[in-house]
Chain A
Amino acid sequence: MRSGPVILTFLVGTALIALFFIPHHKAQAINAELLVWATVIYAFALILGSISLWNTHARKIRLKTEGWPYSLVTLFALVVVTALGVWQGVGEGTVVSRIYNMVNSPLASTMFALLAFFIASAAFRAFRARNVEATLLLVTAVLMMIGRVSIGEFIWKGFPGFTEWLLDVPNLAAKRAIAIGVGLGAVSIGLKIILGIERGYLGRSR
C-alpha cells in the first residue's frame, strides 16, 4: 500500500481546511504561497501536455489514420506558435497575439455560434410529449417562450410576471435542492480523499 501520498494528501488537505478558518496574515501568506506552487506545477504540466499532444498526433501521422492531415496542421501550429512565442513573446502587437486575435478567437466564436443549432436539435428531442414529465416540460417551455416575448404580454398582461414566477419559485427551488446536494457531496468527497477513504486518485481502489 502506498502510504506516502495518502499522508501527504492528509497533511496538505488538513492544512488548507485550517487556513480557510484562520484569517491571520501569516496564515494567508502561506495560502497564497501554496497557490503559487499550484501555478508552477501547472506550468510544468503544460510541458507534459505538449509532449502528449505531439505523441498523439505524430502517431496518427505515422499510422496514416483517418483524418491524419488534421494532425499535421495541429503539429505545424504547435511548432510555429511555440517558436514565435519564444522568439518574440506573447504581448500586444506580437505575431502570437495577432494569431490569437485573428485566427483563434474567430474560430472559437464560430464554434460557439453553432450552439444555437445544437440547442434546437436537443430541444426538439426533449420536447416530444412521450410521457407526463416530457409533456409538462413541453407545456412549461411553450409558456416560458410566449411569456418572454412581447406578444405574451399582448395575449395576457400577467404572462411576464407568471414566467418570472416560474423561474424564481419552482425552478429555483429545484436548482437549490441540487445545489445543496452538490455542496454536501463536495464536502463528502473532499473529506474522503483527505482521510484516505477514497484512493481512486492514486489508481488503487483500496
Chain B
Amino acid sequence: MGAELDTRWFDPARTNLLVGLLLFLTFLAINVLRAKRGGSIYIRPLAGLKALDEAIGRATEMGRSILYMPGLGSMEEVGTLASITIVSRVARKVADLGCSMQVPCYDPVVMAIIDGVVREAYLEAGRGDEFKPGSVHYVSAQQFAYVAAVSGIMLRERPAANVFMGSFYAESLFLAETGNLTGAIQIAGCDKVTQLPFFVCACDYTLMGEELFAASAYIGREPIQLATIAAQDWAKALAAAMIVAAIALSALGHPELGRLLHTS
C-alpha cells in the first residue's frame, strides 16, 4: 500500500517558527520606520570592515590587486548571499580607487552572478570601461583543485589583500595560511563555526558569524540597511531572554516554554 498523501495546508509543528518569523518582520518594520523618520541607529564598529578600506587603499598604492574569495557555498547558502552583497560594495570601492580585483569562483552559478554584480558596480562608479573581463573567473568545482589554483594565484601574483567572505570548509586553513605566507593583509568572514578558529589564527581580521551578514549594511551605511541590523539585535535580545526564561522555568519544574521553543 502506498504512503498516504499529506493534505494539510499548515504544519502545526512549525507554528513557533512562523511566530518567530512574524516577530522578526515586526521588528524589521518598526526599525525601518524609525530609520525613515531619521532616528539614529548605532552599530558597533567592526575592525575587519574598517580594515577593508585600508586594504583596498594599500593595494592601490602598491599597484597590486585584491583577491576576493566568495567561498565554496552555492547560491542556496546564505553565507554566499552575504558574500555577494559584500563583493558589490568592495567592487565599488575598488572601482572608485582604480585598483584591480580578482574573484576566483568555485560554483559556476555564483561566478555568473558575481560577474554581473562586479560589472554593475564598475558601471555605477562611472568606470565601466575599467572592468576587466575575466577578473571574475571560474576555477573548479573540486574543493582541492580550487585550493591548488587559488594558492597558485596567491604565490605567483602576490595580491596586496586577500578577502575571504562566505561559506568555507576544509579549504579555509589552506587558503588563509598560504595567504599569510605571502604577507598580504587578510580579512575573513565566515558563517561556519568549525572554520572560524582557522581564520582567527591565520588572518589579520575575522568577521564571526553574524558579523558577516551585517557587513554589507555596515559598508553601505544606509539608514534602512542599518535598521535591519537593529532588528536583528532586538531578535537576539528576545531569543536570549526566552532561553534564560525557559531554563529558569524548567529548573522550577515548568518545562512548557522549553517545549514551545523546540523546533522539528
CB nearest to B224 among chain A residues? A197
Contacts of A180 in B (CB 8 A): 236, 239
**Size band of the B side of the interface?**
35 or more
A198 touches B225 (CB 8 A): yes
A200 touches B88 (CB 8 A): yes
Stretch at the interface among B8-16, B44-52, B245-253: B8-16
Contacts of A198 in B (CB 8 A): 85, 216-217, 225, 228
A192 to B212 Cα, complex, angstroms = 14
Asked if B53 is at the interface (CB within 8 A of a chain A CB), the reply is no
Asked if A186 is at the interface (CB within 8 A of a chain B CB), the reply is yes
With A23-B11, A48-B108, A52-B138 given, name 14 new contacts (CB 8 A): A49-B105, A55-B134, A67-B152, A182-B213, A187-B21, A191-B24, A193-B81, A193-B85, A195-B28, A200-B88, A201-B84, A202-B117, A203-B118, A205-B88
Contacts of B10 in A (CB 8 A): 21-23
A49 to B111 Cα, complex, angstroms = 7
Q: Residues 40-63 of chain A: 1 if any B CB is under 8 Å from the residue's CB, otherwise 0?
A: 011001101110110110010000
A50 touches B138 (CB 8 A): yes
Determine which of A25, A123, A125, A189 lies in contact with B5 in the assembled complex, contact meaning CB atoms within 8 Å: A25
A21 to B222 Cα, complex, angstroms = 33
A24 touches B82 (CB 8 A): no
Chain A nearest Cβ from B105, distance in angstroms: 8
Known: A21-B11, A185-B212, A186-B213. Is A201-B201 also a contact (CB below 8 A)? no
Asked if B112 is at the interface (CB within 8 A of a chain A CB), the reply is yes
Q: Which of A201, A203, A206 has the most CB of B within 10 A?
A: A203
Chain B nearest Cβ from A115, distance in angstroms: 7
A126 to B200 Cα, complex, angstroms = 8
A118 touches B170 (CB 8 A): no
Contacts of B235 in A (CB 8 A): 184, 187-188
Determine which of A185, A205, A206 lies in contact with B210 in the assembled complex, contact meaning CB atoms within 8 Å: A185
A42 touches B108 (CB 8 A): yes
Q: Which of A108, A201, A204 has the most CB of B within 10 A?
A: A201
Determine which of A22, A111, A188, A200 lies in contact with B232 in the assembled complex, contact meaning CB atoms within 8 Å: A188
B201 touches A126 (CB 8 A): yes
A185 touches B214 (CB 8 A): yes
CB nearest to B6 among chain A residues? A23
Determine which of A49, A56, A112, A125 lies in contact with B144 in the assembled complex, contact meaning CB atoms within 8 Å: A112
A175 to B108 Cα, complex, angstroms = 31
Contacts of A38 in B (CB 8 A): 75-76
